[in-house]
Chain A
Amino acid sequence: MADGEFEPKIVGFLCNWCTYAGADLAGTSRLQYPPNMRPIRVMCSGAVDSVYILRALLEGADGVFIGGCHPGDCHYVSGNYKARRRLVLFNSIMRSLGLDEDRVLLRWISAAEGRRFADTVAELVERLRKKGPSPFRKLWEV
């Protein structure tokens, strides 16, 4: 990306059954949303180990998005509830270490919610734009 205006880079982990289909719907519905997110399809939000989030952040991603099915709708029954607990732990560790937990967003987006997906990406991009680049972009000593 060119110097000048800061364009946040987001790594997105989208659950195959809901959020990824929601993203697809946003596309086929021709909804406009910022192109800042690199989507990665995962089978379940519960399959997103913290190492994936951490790797993205330490390598300099400005934000990480995790999309899963609404509570009660998980294809694997309870993967999203487990993802939620794992994020509670993740956030707690981030706070304990003085790292910015708000660069990571978890949101439930169903296959029917193309609009919610587009809005979520726009919202996260806006949030990260305000925060500025991740400090880890420059920290090579990690």
Chain B
Amino acid sequence: MKGLLKVADNNPAETLRTVYRRWLADGRLSALLVPARSRSGVVTLALVAQPEALTEAAPLLPCLHVNGAQVLADVGRDAGPDTAKVGAVLRPCELRAVVELAKLQQIALDNLVLIGIDCPGTFKVATYRKLLAQDPDFDNNFARKRDLANSELRTACQLCETPQPLVFDLAIGYIGLDPDRELWLEAATEKGDKLLEDITLEPQDEPADRRSALETLITRRREQIAERLTELDRAVLGPENLVRFFADCLNCHNCMKVCPICYCRECFFDSDVFRKDIAEHVRLTRRKGLRRMPRETLLFHLTRMNHMMTSCVQCGVCEDSCPAGIGLATLFKKVARNAQEEFGYLSGRSLEEPLPLTTFREDEFQRLGEE
């Protein structure tokens, strides 16, 4: 089922809240994971289990302070009895991470309903608070914006090529529409259809205006990417540049901790593998004469890339979490894109497509090993 939903009182955020409320009130969903903004100014994701609590939900909140997929890997790793039907309203990059985590057996999709929502971009929480102070109706006004070039967006969002949900049970769209009048709803599965039962839609195919607006946005983003990657190459290419690029790393591992794809219970780098007595450290240091401390930081980043790049969704929470301000979002745009292209893979595009490192063909990459 798909079509246009009429927006009441020129208020798309409130219209969505009304729809969400209905799902919780009639028990179709037992809870909903949604972006929320409290009266005291807390901006976060929230699991909402009572319809009246949805007043705190902020359906169009243009903020991403954690990747919701990581939250789902926390609360949704085990399916539980099927009385729990939890809806998760997620942005495209979060959904893509959910798809990767589901394939990595870290999220059980059985009792989840994935509700994707368009995302023209997000701000860091601090930037968002500033924008909200200037405009109390910022969420709606940002959704209304036609010109979506905004240099205050998070880096990852400025370089985002998937502003629309890729894999979903139900998608909510507003890019290319007039969100004061209508929203685009599209169910891709039975679970999604169930949510649309008794919701009055004007049935139709995806509006052409929406398609062309998305294309324009993605084209502009790709031009932006090309420009940024040229700058990046100047800063990162080659051993000396690379060392400088990561020079300020504190070894805090925040980038790994907030990464939705880095799901290992214990990271190899937090294990005792690298633990040695001081005599051994001295012996190893003799080789180069001196050694940077904290140690093994570049090794950590390069290894991490090798471990997660095929699934990286470029959500950029790693960059936001870096106290040293290392530009990981732009770097990973390049590295992940190239890595995934090698295997004809795109993270989060499909639940069926096997993860590149869990599969192989006998007749591929035959130059390696033989030459």
Contacts and interface: CB of A to CB of B under 8 A. Distances in A.
Contacts, number: 122
A4 B174 CA distance: 68
Contacts of A82: 357, 360
B130 interface: no
A82 B370 CA distance: 15
A110 to B, nearest CB: 12
A35 to B, nearest CB: 19
Contact of B238 (A49, A81, A88, A98): A98
A54 B299 contact: yes
A135 B369 contact: no
A5 B321 CA distance: 47
A28 interface: no
B303 A50 contact: yes
A75 interface: no
B236 interface: yes
B342 A98 contact: no
Contacts of A59: 284, 287
A68 B236 CA distance: 33
B362 A135 contact: no
A139 B240 contact: yes
A88 B239 contact: no
Contacts of A98: 233, 236-239, 241-242
B338 interface: yes
Interface string A85-103: 1111110110111110000
Nearest to B336: A96
Nearest to B268: A51
A84 B356 contact: no
Interface in A57-85: 58-60, 68, 70-72, 78, 80-82, 84-85
A49 B292 CA distance: 24
A71 B364 CA distance: 11
A38 interface: no
A88 B342 contact: yes
Which of B243, B284, B297, B356 counts the most chain A CB atoms within 10 A?
B243
Contacts of A58: 298-299, 302
B334 interface: yes
A80 B366 CA distance: 12
Contact of B365 (A60, A68, A85): A85
Interface in B258-314: 268, 284, 287-292, 297-299, 302-303, 305-307, 309-310
Contacts of B243: 139, 141-142
Given A141-B247, A142-B292, A85 B287 contact: no
A135 B335 contact: no
* Residue of A78, A92, A98 ringed by the most chain B CB atoms within 10 A: A92
Interface of B: 233, 236-243, 247, 268, 284, 287-292, 297-299, 302-303, 305-307, 309-310, 334-335, 338-339, 342-343, 356-357, 359-362, 364-365, 368-371
Given A54-B302, A97-B302, 7 more contacts: A49-B303, A51-B303, A81-B361, A90-B306, A92-B338, A93-B305, A140-B289
What are the nearest 7 A-B pairs in CB distance?
A: A98-B237, A50-B306, A81-B360, A135-B239, A142-B298, A98-B238, A108-B369
11 contacts: A54-B299, A58-B299, A60-B287, A80-B369, A84-B365, A85-B359, A88-B368, A89-B306, A107-B369, A140-B291, A141-B243
